[in-house]
Amino acid sequence: MKSKVLKIVELAFDKKAVDITALDLRKTANFCDFFVILTGTSATHIKSIADGINEGLRKGGMRTHHVEGYRESRWVALDYFSVIVHIFDEETRLFYDLEHLWSDAPRLKLNEKASSA
């Protein structure tokens, strides 16, 4: 499970995603195991990150269950059943503040390069 999260983080970093965070929801939620939350700098950048993650995981045999928000690209959610990826623009990420809403969920230690992208 964590390997999927780490692959998503790697793919997001490759697309220059900003402020990458991963939350472990296994003891907190019953609908998924992890959130990966990150920021893109524009609608085009957000789509590029989403496409990069989808393409990278598809090569490994993992398909997206559901995609939400791609057209508007202010908040794109990629649902991989056990992992949900949230790709925000900065304003929308600050508004919804998922890290605060899920503050009781432990954060995964990420590669320093990825977490400070």
- Per-residue pLDDT tens listing for the chain (117 residues): 678 999 999 999 999 999 999 999 999 999 999 999 999 999 999 999 999 999 999 999 999 999 999 999 999 999 999 999 999 999 999 999 999 999 999 999 886 554 444
Asked if residue 74 is part of any domain, the answer here is yes
Asked if residue 117 is part of any domain, the answer here is no
Which residue is associated with the tokens 């009781």? Answer: 104
- Distances in Å between the alpha carbon of 11 and those of 47, 101, 104, 114? 13, 25, 26, 10
- Count of structural domains, the chain: 1
- Entry pTM: 0.91
pLDDT, residue 115, reads 44
Asked if residue 36 is part of any domain, the answer here is yes
- Its domain, for residue 55, covers 2-110
CATH label of the domain that carries residue 77 = 3.30.460.10
Asked if residue 116 is part of any domain, the answer here is no
